[in-house]
Chains A and B, each alone.
Chain A
Amino acid sequence: MESFIINVLNGMSWGMLLFLISVGLTTVFGVLGVLNFAHGSFFMLGAYLCMQIMHIAPSFWVGILIGPLAVALLGVVIEKTLLTRIYNRDVSFQLLLTFAILLVIDDAVRLIYGPGYHVVEAPAILAGVFPLFDHSYPIYRLFLIVIGPVVGLGLWAFFRYTRWGKIVRAAAADREMAEGVGIRAPLLFTMVFALGSWLAALGGALAAPQQSLSPAMGERIIIESFIVVVIGGMGSFPGAFVGALILGLCESFGTVFAGRAQMAVPYILLAAVLLIRPRGFFGREA
């Protein structure tokens, strides 16, 4: 029982971090139809900017507030200047362009901060541990487990109940029709891309207190985010939540019980979903 609960907590805290990253990826794909390879770089940038801001104003909360906003702003610039040019082109252009953005951002960070490892401290209120059975468990992990659903619910309410959310969903369903009834799709696309970038950076800033920062941290997480998005259904919002949770739990239980086969667990899961239900758990019919 004891080990079961710890494994669930481990899996959920990792899953919620994956969720924050995947939800941005899936939203951008759902609305813009762009599979953004640079999403991991926004994640990494969020962590670095959070660290940078903490050097100036030594508060994690200021870092997590301003860092992701700065990345969202960068998202606006990238969407306006680069992405708009390739919406009507072949998918290979999207992949090439977003991959190029990834390389530029990663190398820029490497130039500025160097290739070394950096460490960000958790805010004092979350830095401690609480006793769990005869060991201790970090409070920060519980915070991650809570923040995931909070952000998720917030987004869900936004898409479901607000005027803007409804407009986004309308545009995602049928862009031409939406433009026909007077929705300014280009502006909308910019906002959605900024939202996606903000979510990735938020994930990065939240990950910073528990993993070391290096320019390659985005590359390491993007593969798993792709798996989450495919499992949950491309463009599906609840899909990202369920997919991330399943992947997180599979990895934590897999590590403990599957031994070396654990590495294969996410890929087996991916293959199984693709075979049995190619559109993912919550994906729309193609």
Chain B
Amino acid sequence: MIRKCKTMTWLIVFMAIGALLALPSGAAKPVKLGFVYIMSGPFATYGQFAKQGAEMAIEQINAAGGINGSPVEAFFEDSTGKPDAALRAIRKLVYQEKVDCLIGLDSSGVAKTVAPSIGKLKTPLIITHAATPDVTGSVCNKYVFRISLNLAQNIKTAAGVAALGDAKKWTTIGPDYAFGHQSWEYFQKYLAQIKPDAEFLPSDQVVFSPTKTTDFSAYITKIMQSKPDGVLISLWGGNLIDFVRQGSEMGFFNGDFEVLSTLGAAVEVLDALGDKMPEGIWVGTRYWFLGNDSPINQAFVKTFQEKYNAYPSYNAENAYGAVLTYQAAAKKAGSVDKDKIVAALEGLSVELPVGNIFIRPEDHQAITDACWGVTAADPAYPIRILKPFKVFSGAEITPAPAETGCNMN
């Protein structure tokens, strides 16, 4: 009898919860945004920054009356950095939560696998971090957009930076997956165009380390023994931190060769390394919080610092920017209908903290500026900052649509 009572109680509790959840809120139907970032594992800090940026944007939009008068509701899912998990998360967001738009993706491997399925889900996806050229190239489709700098743009800038110095013989260390290999491939292509006499070490002498590596000493030794003039580092996150610390100890940054780190100006990395980050190396990023004095950037940095007590990283800015981009598209379309949003995103111009971006209709890649600078100590900051700092105009570093291999039909 008692057991029966208990079962009944539970049933009633569940029914009550269900009824509460189903209650109409009375307010306008919310706009639902689904975010998919790496929330666990070694790269989870990138997901956390993105979440902070997205939440801040949504808070500001809701405080100002929402998108076209409707409040914005956010759903966050963990991609875990693995394609199958990310696809499951995306399906859940689309079918279960019925989101109006998807935002996110950190890993190129994930983005490349997921992009073709987005066409079938008929839900716009705004990529904010994954850099593989393929999602706005060989596997591009109507529903996939990217507002962040892609690999081709970033590496074309790296080649421009490399051409400033006199290094002739180049090698690389990168993560052993598509991102690392493509970074090196594009670097050779673009640098050879600017500097025909540049030399590149053969494939058995360049170095790609598995992302699970924590001891880089053997890789460091191998690069130093190949006696290059310049090294392109495309490692990121914890890999980059470990590499820089161990490399400093082994004399890697003593100035025997030039060093370019394509994602070295990520705040996640600079923050962890503090004064362990060597000075005088070229580092790139998609967004640098001291990069421009526009009112929107100043307000963004100030609010972010007050709210989270940290400097905003590029992933925070990109996620923040994606929400603003969606808002602008919804305003332009006068609707949140998925196909109308897609049409509005094509050819959209928005001002974001990073600067003005323009989404190309041909391949859905945003034309956005690239930031590179030289690491320097500054007593006003606990982290290394970029001095000198250079902005490379998006129009100059973005390959023409014909080069991307994208075919929307």
B392 at the interface (CB under 8 A from A): no
B85 to chain A, nearest CB (A): 15
Contacts A6-B221, A7-B218, A117-B45 given; does A135 touch B251 at CB 8 Å? yes
Chain A residues within 8 Å of B241, by CB: 117, 119, 212
Tell me if A138 and B40 are in contact (CB < 8 A): no
Instruction: Provide the bound-state CA to CA distance between A102 and B343, in Å.
Output: 47
Chain B residues within 8 Å of A9, by CB: 217
Tell me if A117 and B210 are in contact (CB < 8 A): no
Q: Mark B195-237, 1 if CB is under 8 A from A, else 0.
A: 0000000011001111010110111011011000000000001
Tell me if A263 and B215 are in contact (CB < 8 A): no
What number of A-B contacts does a CB cutoff of 8 Å give?
117
A159 at the interface (CB under 8 A from B): no
A and B contact pairs by CB, cutoff 8 A, 11 listed: A3-B221, A10-B218, A114-B48, A116-B45, A129-B250, A129-B251, A212-B238, A212-B242, A214-B42, A216-B41, A217-B214
From residue 32 to 79 of chain B, which have CB atoms closer than 8 A to chain A? Answer: 39-42, 44-45, 47-48
Instruction: Provide the bound-state CA to CA distance between A140 and B246, in Å.
Output: 10
**Nearest residue, chain B, Cβ from A210:** B246
Among all A-B residue pairs, the 7 with the closest Cβ atoms: A115-B44, A138-B249, A255-B218, A10-B217, A117-B272, A252-B218, A116-B45
A99 at the interface (CB under 8 A from B): no
Tell me if B45 and A137 are in contact (CB < 8 A): no
- Identify which of B45, B207, B212, B254 contacts A115 (C-beta below 8 A): B45
Contacts A116-B48, A215-B44 given; does A14 touch B217 at CB 8 Å? yes
Tell me if A211 and B242 are in contact (CB < 8 A): yes
Instruction: Provide the bound-state CA to CA distance between A214 and B240, in Å.
Output: 13
Instruction: Provide the bound-state CA to CA distance between A253 and B246, in Å.
Output: 18
**Nearest residue, chain B, Cβ from A11:** B218
- Identify which of B48, B209, B250 contacts A138 (C-beta below 8 A): B250
From residue 138 to 152 of chain A, which have CB atoms closer than 8 A to chain B? Answer: 138, 140-141
Chain B residues within 8 Å of A129, by CB: 249-251
A183 at the interface (CB under 8 A from B): no
Tell me if B219 and A255 are in contact (CB < 8 A): yes
A205 to chain B, nearest CB (A): 15
Tell me if A110 and B222 are in contact (CB < 8 A): no
Chain A residues within 8 Å of B42, by CB: 214, 216-217, 220
**Which chain B residues have a beta carbon within 8 Å of chain A's beta carbons?**
39-42, 44-45, 47-48, 176, 203-204, 207-210, 212, 214-215, 217-219, 221-222, 224-225, 237-238, 241-242, 245-246, 249-251, 254, 268-269, 271-274, 276
Contacts A117-B45, A260-B176 given; does A10 touch B221 at CB 8 Å? yes
- Identify which of A115, A136, A210 contacts B48 (C-beta below 8 A): A115
Chain B residues within 8 Å of A259, by CB: 203-204
Number of interface residues of A (CB under 8 A): 44
A279 at the interface (CB under 8 A from B): no
Chain A residues within 8 Å of B204, by CB: 259
Task: Give chain A's interface secondary structure class.
Answer: helix
A167 at the interface (CB under 8 A from B): no
A184 to chain B, nearest CB (A): 40
A246 at the interface (CB under 8 A from B): no
Tell me if A251 and B218 are in contact (CB < 8 A): yes
Apart from the given pairs A10-B218, A216-B44, A255-B209, 4 other A-B contacts in the complex at a CB distance below 8 Å: A3-B225, A115-B44, A210-B242, A220-B214
Instruction: Provide the bound-state CA to CA distance between A219 and B40, in Å.
Output: 12
Instruction: Provide the bound-state CA to CA distance between A207 and B204, in Å.
Output: 30
Tell me if B250 and A136 are in contact (CB < 8 A): yes
Tell me if A256 and B221 are in contact (CB < 8 A): yes
Tell me if B250 and A221 are in contact (CB < 8 A): no
Q: Mark A1-33, 1 if CB is under 8 A from B, else 0.
A: 001001101110110010000000000000000
Chain A residues within 8 Å of B39, by CB: 115
Tell me if B249 and A136 are in contact (CB < 8 A): yes
Contacts A10-B221, A221-B214 given; does A210 touch B245 at CB 8 Å? yes
B226 to chain A, nearest CB (A): 10
Instruction: Provide the bound-state CA to CA distance between A10 and B216, in Å.
Output: 9
Contacts A220-B42, A252-B217 given; does A118 touch B225 at CB 8 Å? no
B291 to chain A, nearest CB (A): 22
Contacts A260-B208, A263-B210 given; does A119 touch B250 at CB 8 Å? no
Chain B residues within 8 Å of A138, by CB: 246, 249-250
From residue 175 to 230 of chain A, which have CB atoms closer than 8 A to chain B? Answer: 207, 210-212, 214-217, 219-221, 223
Chain A residues within 8 Å of B48, by CB: 114-116
Instruction: Provide the bound-state CA to CA distance between A210 and B216, in Å.
Output: 10
Instruction: Provide the bound-state CA to CA distance between A270 and B241, in Å.
Output: 30
Q: Mark A99-133, 1 if CB is under 8 A from B, else 0.
A: 00000000000100011111100000000010000
Tell me if B272 and A119 are in contact (CB < 8 A): yes
B355 to chain A, nearest CB (A): 27
A37 to chain B, nearest CB (A): 16
**Nearest residue, chain A, Cβ from B212:** A220
Instruction: Provide the bound-state CA to CA distance between A119 and B246, in Å.
Output: 12
B319 to chain A, nearest CB (A): 15
Tell me if B40 and A118 are in contact (CB < 8 A): no
